[in-house]
Amino acid sequence: EPEVTQTPSHQVTQMGQEVILRCVPISNHLYFYWYRQILGQKVEFLVSFYNNEISEKSEIFDDQFSVERPDGSNFTLKIRSTKLEDSAMYFCASRGVTGVGYTFGSGTRLTVV
């Protein structure tokens, strides 16, 4: 069964450092998303991406965040200057043209120290 792949599975970074979280969506999917989940809290939408541009973003997705699809397969989330409160599980998801339910990747646990 096709799956969404995320790397790394765990990233520890110092406050103020830049991090890039990587995702390989399912190959024939066209819509891509980043969500995050702070430990013990609900899943929160960050951004959606379609046709090489951001289609929607939340209030969380401020100027410190950016997304990119640098080639035909990867989808990245960059946090320019990490803060302690960015510590969370970050999930990438993708979906195809039909249907609205997504497939999630296994997540990257980001720890900012």
Return residues touching another protein (CB under 8 A): 31, 33, 35, 41-45, 48, 55-56, 58, 89, 91, 95, 99-107
**Which residue type occupies 108?**
T
Torsion (CA) 90, 19, 33, 1 in degrees, nearest 10: -70
Query: Distance between CA 87 and CA 102 in Å, rounded?
Result: 23
Q: What is the nearest approach in angstroms of another protein to the Cβ of residue 81?
A: 25
Q: Which residue, 8 or 16, is less far from another protein as judged by CB?
A: 8
Q: Which is nearer to another protein, 48 or 82 (CB)?
A: 48
List alpha helices for 4-56, DSSP H.
none
Q: Hey, what are 31's tokens?
A: 């819509």
Q: Are 25 and 94 in contact (CB under 8 A)?
A: yes
Q: Considering beta carbons, is residue 86 or 105 the nearer one to another protein? A: 105
Q: How far is the CB of 34 from another protein (least distance, A)?
A: 11
- Provide, rounded to whole angstroms, the least separation between the CB of residue 85 and another protein: 19
